Amino acid sequence: MPEGDTVFRTAEKLREALVGHRLTRCDVRVPRYATVDLSGHAVDEVCARGKHLFIRVGSASIHSHLKMDGSWRVTPLTARADYRVRIILDTKDVRALGIDLGVLEILDRAYDFDVVEHLGPDLLGDDWDPKVAAANLTARPDRPIAEVLLDQRVLAGIGNVYANELCFITGHLPTAPVSAITDPHRLVSRAREMLWANRFRRNRCTTGDTRAGRQVWVYGRVGQACRRCGTPVRQDDSGERVAYWCPACQR
């Protein structure tokens, strides 16, 4: 699942491939923007903000959000674009394909960040601010911890994997209220460290052990032994997002 680290890495990949190069083809396969053609213009910047991506070209900004299944691929010019492709950007050397993007829109570059104005501090941003993030986290004391960690208005970049892993690491049930957090500053700092450590990794790791099958504490491990105490990990998929926890380590 794409989280802030995936988007950060995607931006890095697109930056390397596109920035400073003129587009030779721009094919937007979304009815509303089908007539937009940015070819002839050079790509100036690629930026990530939380889980949002911006490719700035001329006076336009291509805004995308990966949501559940989206991705961007950089391929040779010969690569085929199948029905899942929403946008094709060619330079003279490479082809960038935006696949299954949850959001794809072409914005006026001068106002493109308006769409991310509501976001809390970006965990991987230059302007990351743990004080603001910690204050946001506990602003409404009765909200469940996992839900608040996933709320991009509180802090931006966390998806369901990190939300579950952070609950484990801090010993809280995902459903516990944020008022149970004794040190909110420490929690948001752990979140930042986790995403930062993973920003260039292909296989996300929250345990510090990058060997296959050992990368996460609880996420996706229902029925398997807790890595700390051996108790089987539990799962609840009745909510909007699946929750995983160790009933002994998290209370």
Residues that bind Zn ion (CB under 5 A): 226, 228-229, 231, 246, 248-249
CB of 243 closer than 8 Å to CB of 175: yes
Residue that the structure tokens 């990949």 belong to = 13
Query: Rg of the chain over CA atoms, in angstroms?
Result: 20
Q: Which of 109, 190, 227, 241 is catalytic?
A: 241
Q: How far is the CB of 167 from Zn ion (least distance, A)?
A: 12
Q: How far is the CB of 161 from Zn ion (least distance, A)?
A: 18
Q: Give the C-alpha separation, 126 to 203, whole Å.
A: 24
Q: Which of 9, 49, 51, 204 is catalytic?
A: 51
Residue nearest to Zn ion according to CB distances in the complex: 226
- Nearer to Zn ion by C-beta: 59 or 224? 224
Q: How far is the CB of 224 from Zn ion (least distance, A)?
A: 11
- The C-alpha torsion from 210 through 219 and 97 to 118, rounded to 10°, is -120
Q: How far is the CB of 246 from Zn ion (least distance, A)?
A: 3
Q: Give the C-alpha separation, 152 to 77, whole Å.
A: 36
- Nearer to Zn ion by C-beta: 201 or 228? 228
Instruction: Check if 3 is active-site.
Output: yes
Q: Give the C-alpha separation, 101 to 26, whole Å.
A: 16
Q: How many other C-beta atoms are found inside a 10 Å radius of the C-beta of residue 214? A: 12
Instruction: Check if 2 is active-site.
Output: yes
Q: Bridge-partner residues for 49, per DSSP?
A: 52
In this structure, which amino acid lies at residue 138? T
- Nearer to Zn ion by C-beta: 139 or 229? 229
Instruction: Check if 51 is active-site.
Output: yes
- Nearer to Zn ion by C-beta: 7 or 226? 226
CB of 79 closer than 8 Å to CB of 1: no
Q: How far is the CB of 179 from Zn ion (least distance, A)?
A: 23
- Nearer to Zn ion by C-beta: 145 or 218? 218
3-state secondary structure of 65: strand
Q: Which residues are catalytic?
A: 2-3, 51, 241
